[in-house]
């Protein structure tokens, strides 16, 4: 250690210990108002509005009723579409008012005032999310949770707050912001789009069926996680190093080469959303009870988590939203300035970071973010901040992040890696070394935000926790994008996407409406976790700026926000509304009557998805007529109407799974609570529907459904080829009016910022 380093080390260690954080809830109380334009309550927006409301409550925004608003003409000058959800965020500093005008819509313009031509289900289809989630099932499959609505609401809120932030900095170029569900969804699946567009070794957005060869199975069969015990417990296994995996399966007598084949698939599941494992692995587990498997996993240091039922999650008050908002903000007591004055750091020389050629312009211009994160959640957070105009410097280990080499690669860099990191300057620092630690401290000295997603307690062991950083920069917002949030100390499991899905109830909700057990191998919690982390940063920046402005105006203000905590579990809670999860266990049979049967239909040239969540029986009948169901089914269609009242009256006594079993397996009709003649003909009707849909193209059916006001969509399946190399997928991007949101550059399809700002 050099003399300079020793001096600095001594100085840092001798500085006064800081007091504990003071948590700050509802940080915007009385500061920022939100006004949502009334009259836009169509079905397609309901889940977005629900998610916005959770954010409004968690952040303490004051909701203005239109009649009470002093800006009641807020929306009169808007030029945006009439079918968009419009809302404003506003704040007053002294006599000045600042307003961000926000608009959220689908790119599909509504032609009918009665129905939306989109909803969460068709959005998942049209944007490709259904194809990514469906990879393990071999066909496009919807997620039974409002991922796109929730992701869009978080991005929409952060654009509004970033707009206010820039206005308080005197910049009026970002007063209006628009976002569409579709553009937000593309950002969420941007890594998969990158993978589907690379110049070499591209993977279709919905790959062809995986063969047993991919799994390395000796008997030509394979399965995807999760796993199942002899006594029927569904569970996830997790490890990020090979030894626990090897030791666990060796203890179960599995051949080493089979274990190796399994590992290769298992570790790539985060990138590929599939993990074809040799069936031998499931076979040995099927002979053991969960408690025996649990014991063996513990011995091998392999993490294990059962897929918790939603009722168990609802009973677990530790993780309900009332106990845990998506964001935890905290402040520090102010400490005299000289304690931070570390002249010695001036003698530390930093390499010049390599800045990318094109950095997006946006409302966070002038904000500097330092990121020390790996994999998805943290990099997504600072990717969004970079897309909002912040300068992001990313710390990577010497030699660069190993993920730079992950296939597929274009121009020597992994396109998946580049999709989340292309806007950042890179600085290679060995953060475990003494000098590296000082380089990090030097770097944060002039930064506004530091984001890390290290394992719990690693920050303290590196000497890079918030105390260390606040000694060199007391204004720094220290951000931790973790796994379990407040539960870090109580949940002894690695905080990874699939473990949190299993623990939080997300996996159970997904499996309730899926042909397979467990959650999704689409890394939805990492992605939403990144978005809420970015939202936490923007909130803290705005709050601190409001404080500054009020202080300049002569007001007494609270201490600034200096820490933000978010986690994967927080994103799960935002996604599934745990408080109401019990109600989601018994969905209306009315709503699900078509869900299992017609979620996606195969047309002549691809798949289409039909709105199955907002269906009513009137629309159902129109649907059948639209596709030309024959007169021989007239009595069946009549019975659909008649059965509607029967189903409504007996809703409580009919279990959804029972109904799905019946519709999918007509031989079980004998045990059916409905009239068997109805179900028998219903099954035959399904067969005819499938046959009729196959006879025409997707475009033919979509025109017909849209004219009737039925939400329906293409499902992209293939590669995202650049213009001139038309594929079904690029065609669907054009149909969605999203061509300006995808740019072919550096050898792959780059997803552009979801927002559009103007003055």
The contacts of residue 262 (CB under 8 Å, 6+ apart) are 215, 216, 245, 249, 277, 278, 281
Q: Figure out which of the listed residues 454, 615, 748, 755 binds other proteins, where binding follows CB under 8 A.
A: 454
DSSP string covering 241-274: SHHHHHHHHHHTT--HHHHHHHHHHHHHHHHHS-
Number of DSSP helices (H) and strands (E) in the chain, helices first: 30, 26
Span interacting with other proteins, options 275-283, 409-417, 602-610, 648-656, rule CB under 8 A? 409-417
Q: Figure out which of the listed residues 126, 377, 517, 562 binds other proteins, where binding follows CB under 8 A.
A: 377
Cβ proximity of 421 and 748 under 8 Å: no
Best CA proximity match to 185, nearest among 88, 108, 100, 109: 108
Question: Which of residues 403 and 689 has its CB atom nearest to other proteins in the complex?
Answer: 403
Q: What is the smallest separation between the CB atom of 722 and other proteins, expressed in angstroms?
A: 23
Q: Is 240 near other proteins (CB under 8 A)?
A: yes
Using left for φ > 0, alpha for ψ between -120 and 50, and beta otherwise, residue 138 falls in left
Q: Figure out which of the listed residues 131, 391, 523, 663 binds other proteins, where binding follows CB under 8 A.
A: 523
Structure tokens at 554: 């002569």
Q: What is the smallest separation between the CB atom of 753 and other proteins, expressed in angstroms?
A: 23
The contacts of residue 751 (CB under 8 Å, 6+ apart) are 186, 187, 190, 193, 194, 419, 741, 742
Question: Which of residues 356 and 494 has its CB atom nearest to other proteins in the complex?
Answer: 494
Residue 673's Cα: distance from chain center in Å?
39
Q: What is the smallest separation between the CB atom of 356 and other proteins, expressed in angstroms?
A: 17
Q: What is the smallest separation between the CB atom of 498 and other proteins, expressed in angstroms?
A: 8
Dihedral sign from CA coordinates of 194, 200, 205, 211? negative
Q: Is 23 near other proteins (CB under 8 A)?
A: no
Q: Is 403 near other proteins (CB under 8 A)?
A: yes
Span interacting with other proteins, options 26-34, 338-346, 353-361, 410-418, rule CB under 8 A? 410-418
Q: What is the smallest separation between the CB atom of 492 and other proteins, expressed in angstroms?
A: 13
Q: What is the smallest separation between the CB atom of 748 and other proteins, expressed in angstroms?
A: 14
Q: What is the smallest separation between the CB atom of 397 and other proteins, expressed in angstroms?
A: 9
Q: Figure out which of the listed residues 23, 94, 400, 628 binds other proteins, where binding follows CB under 8 A.
A: 400
Question: Which of residues 374 and 512 has its CB atom nearest to other proteins in the complex?
Answer: 374
Q: Dihedral angle at the C-alpha atoms of 688, 694, 696, 700, nearest 10 degrees? A: 90
In whole angstroms, what is the distance from residue 31 CA to residue 553 CA?
A: 14
Question: Which of residues 242 and 555 has its CB atom nearest to other proteins in the complex?
Answer: 242
Residue with tokens 């990138």: 271
CB crowding 319-343: b at 16 or more within 10 Å, else e: bbbeebbbbbbbbbeeeeeeeeebe
Q: What is the smallest separation between the CB atom of 145 and other proteins, expressed in angstroms?
A: 19
Q: Site mask, other proteins, residues 248-277, x = CB under 8 A?
A: --------xx-xx--xx--xx-xx------
How many other C-beta atoms are found inside a 10 Å radius of the C-beta of residue 422? 20
Q: Is 723 near other proteins (CB under 8 A)?
A: no
CA distances from 256 to 13, 246, 248, 261 (A): 49, 8, 11, 9
Structure tokens at 223: 């399965």
Question: Which of residues 100 and 420 has its CB atom nearest to other proteins in the complex?
Answer: 420
What proportions of the chain, in percent to the nearest 5, are helix, strand and coil?
45, 15, 40
Span interacting with other proteins, options 64-72, 82-90, 146-154, 447-455, rule CB under 8 A? 447-455
In whole angstroms, what is the distance from residue 548 CA to residue 557 CA?
A: 8
Q: What is the smallest separation between the CB atom of 212 and other proteins, expressed in angstroms?
A: 15
Q: Figure out which of the listed residues 334, 343, 352, 412 binds other proteins, where binding follows CB under 8 A.
A: 412
Question: Which of residues 280 and 526 has its CB atom nearest to other proteins in the complex?
Answer: 526
Instruction: Output Rg (C-alpha) for the chain, integer angstroms.
Output: 27
- The three-state secondary structure class of 198 is coil
The DSSP bridge partners found for residue 602 are 607
Q: Is 526 near other proteins (CB under 8 A)?
A: yes
How many other C-beta atoms are found inside a 10 Å radius of the C-beta of residue 32? 25
Q: Figure out which of the listed residues 108, 148, 409, 542 binds other proteins, where binding follows CB under 8 A.
A: 409
Question: Which of residues 381 and 629 has its CB atom nearest to other proteins in the complex?
Answer: 381
Longest dimension (CA), the chain: 92
Task: List binders of other proteins among 474-513 (CB under 8 A).
Answer: 481-483, 494-497, 499-500
Ranges assigned E (strand) in 483-538: none
Q: Site mask, other proteins, residues 323-362, x = CB under 8 A?
A: ----------------------------------------
Question: Which of residues 488 and 508 has its CB atom nearest to other proteins in the complex?
Answer: 488
Edge-to-edge strand order for the sheet containing 600-603?
600-603, 606-610, 712-715
Residue 393's Cα: distance from chain center in Å?
23
Task: List binders of other proteins among 160-219 (CB under 8 A).
Answer: none
Span interacting with other proteins, options 18-26, 277-285, 375-383, 462-470, rule CB under 8 A? 375-383
Q: What is the smallest separation between the CB atom of 610 and other proteins, expressed in angstroms?
A: 32
Q: Is 631 near other proteins (CB under 8 A)?
A: no
Q: What is the smallest separation between the CB atom of 407 and other proteins, expressed in angstroms?
A: 8
Q: What is the smallest separation between the CB atom of 759 and other proteins, expressed in angstroms?
A: 39
Q: Is 405 near other proteins (CB under 8 A)?
A: yes
Span interacting with other proteins, options 277-285, 309-317, 405-413, 711-719, rule CB under 8 A? 405-413
Q: What are φ and ψ of residue 650, in 5° steps?
A: -110, 20
Q: What is the smallest separation between the CB atom of 496 and other proteins, expressed in angstroms?
A: 3
Query: 698-707 vs 617-626: helix axis angle to the nearest 10?
Result: 140
Q: What is the smallest separation between the CB atom of 676 and other proteins, expressed in angstroms?
A: 47
In whole angstroms, what is the distance from residue 389 CA to residue 538 CA?
A: 12
DSSP string covering 3-46: HHHHHHHHHHHHSPPPPPPEEE-STTTTTEEEEEPTT---GGGH
Q: What is the smallest separation between the CB atom of 358 and other proteins, expressed in angstroms?
A: 22
Task: List binders of other proteins among 528-567 (CB under 8 A).
Answer: 567
User: Site size for other proteins, by CB under 8 A?
Assistant: 45
Task: List binders of other proteins among 688-707 (CB under 8 A).
Answer: none
Contacts with other proteins by CB under 8 A lie at 240-242, 246, 256-257, 259-260, 263-264, 267-268, 270-271, 375-378, 399-400, 402-406, 409, 412-414, 453-455, 481-483, 494-497, 499-500, 523, 526, 567-568
């Amino acid at each position: 250690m050099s003399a300079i380093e020793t001096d600095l080390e001594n100085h840092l260690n001798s500085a006064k210990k800081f007091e504990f954080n003071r948590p700050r809830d509802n940080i915007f109380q009385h500061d920022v108002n939100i006004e949502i334009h009334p009259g836009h309550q169509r079905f397609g927006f309901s889940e977005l509005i629900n998610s916005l409301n959770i954010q409004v409550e968690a952040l303490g925004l004051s909701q203005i009723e239109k009649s009470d608003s002093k800006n009641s003409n807020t929306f009169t000058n808007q030029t945006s579409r009439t079918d968009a959800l419009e809302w404003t965020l506003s704040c007053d500093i002294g006599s000045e008012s600042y307003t961000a005008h926000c608009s959220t819509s689908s790119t599909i313009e509504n032609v009918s005032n009665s129905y939306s031509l989109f909803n969460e289900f068709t959005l998942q289809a049209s944007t490709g999310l259904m194809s990514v989630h469906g990879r393990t099932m071999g066909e496009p499959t919807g997620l039974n949770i409002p991922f796109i609505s929730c992701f869009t609401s978080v991005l929409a809120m952060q654009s509004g707050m970033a707009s206010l932030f820039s206005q308080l900095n005197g910049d009026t170029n970002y007063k209006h912001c628009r976002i569409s569900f579709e553009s937000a969804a593309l950002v969420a699946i941007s890594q998969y789009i990158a993978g589907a567009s690379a110049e070499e070794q591209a993977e279709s957005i919905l790959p062809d069926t995986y063969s047993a060869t991919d799994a390395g199975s000796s008997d030509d069969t394979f399965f995807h996680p999760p796993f199942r015990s002899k006594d029927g417990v569904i569970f996830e296994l997790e490890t990020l190093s090979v030894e626990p995996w090897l030791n666990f399966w060796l203890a179960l007598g599995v051949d080493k080469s089979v274990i190796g084949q399994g590992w290769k698939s298992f570790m790539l599941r985060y990138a590929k959303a599939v993990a074809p494992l040799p069936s031998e692995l499931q076979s040995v587990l099927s002979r053991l009870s969960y408690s025996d498997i649990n014991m063996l996993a513990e011995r091998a240091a392999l993490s294990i988590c059962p897929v918790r039922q939603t009722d168990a999650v609802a009973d677990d008050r530790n993780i309900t939203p009332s106990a845990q908002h998506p964001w935890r903000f905290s402040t520090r007591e102010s400490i005299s300035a000289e304690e931070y004055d570390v002249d010695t750091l001036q003698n530390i020389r930093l390499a010049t970071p390599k800045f990318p050629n094109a950095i997006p312009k946006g409302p966070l211009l002038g904000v500097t973010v330092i990121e020390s994160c790996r994999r998805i959640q943290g990099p997504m957070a600072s990717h969004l901040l970079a897309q909002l105009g912040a300068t992001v410097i990313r710390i990577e280990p010497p030699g660069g992040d190993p993920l730079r080499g992950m296939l597929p690669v274009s121009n020597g860099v992994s396109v998946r890696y580049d999709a989340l990191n292309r806007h950042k300057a890179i600085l290679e620092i060995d953060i475990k070394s003494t000098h590296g630690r000082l380089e990090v401290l030097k770097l944060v000295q002039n930064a506004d935000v530091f984001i890390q997603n290290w394992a719990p307690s690693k920050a303290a062991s590196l000497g890079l926790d918030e105390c260390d950083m606040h000694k060199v920069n007391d204004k720094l917002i220290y951000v931790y994008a973790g796994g379990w949030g407040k539960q870090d100390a109580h949940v002894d499991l690695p905080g990874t996407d699939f473990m949190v899905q299993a623990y939080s109830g997300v996996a159970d909700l997904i499996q309730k409406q899926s042909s397979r057990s467990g959650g999704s191998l689409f890394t939805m919690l990492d992605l939403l976790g990144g978005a809420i982390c970015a939202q936490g940063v923007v909130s803290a920046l705005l709050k601190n700026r409001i404080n500054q402005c009020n202080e300049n105006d002569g007001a007494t203000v609270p201490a600034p926000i200096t820490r933000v905590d978010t986690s994967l579990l927080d994103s799960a809670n935002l996604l599934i509304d745990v408080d109401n999860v019990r109600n989601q266990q018994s969905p209306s049979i009315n709503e699900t009557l078509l869900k299992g049967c017609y979620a996606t239909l195969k047309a002549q040239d691809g798949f289409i998805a039909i709105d199955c969540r907002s269906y009513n029986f009137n629309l159902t009948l129109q649907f059948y007529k639209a596709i030309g169901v024959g007169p021989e089914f007239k009595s069946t269609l009549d019975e659909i109407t008649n059965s509607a009242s029967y189903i409504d009256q007996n809703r409580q006594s009919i279990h959804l799974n029972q109904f799905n079993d019946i519709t999918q397996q007509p031989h079980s009709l004998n045990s059916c609570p409905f009239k068997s003649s109805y179900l028998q003909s219903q099954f035959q009707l399904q067969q005819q529907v499938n046959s009729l849909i196959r006879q025409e193209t997707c475009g033919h059916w979509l025109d017909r459904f849209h004219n009737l006001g039925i939400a329906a969509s293409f499902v992209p399946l293939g590669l995202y080829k650049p213009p001139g190399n038309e594929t079904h997928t690029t065609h669907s991007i054009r149909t969605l009016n999203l061509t300006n949101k995808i740019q072919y550059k550096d050898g792959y399809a780059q997803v552009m910022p979801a927002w559009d700002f103007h003055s």
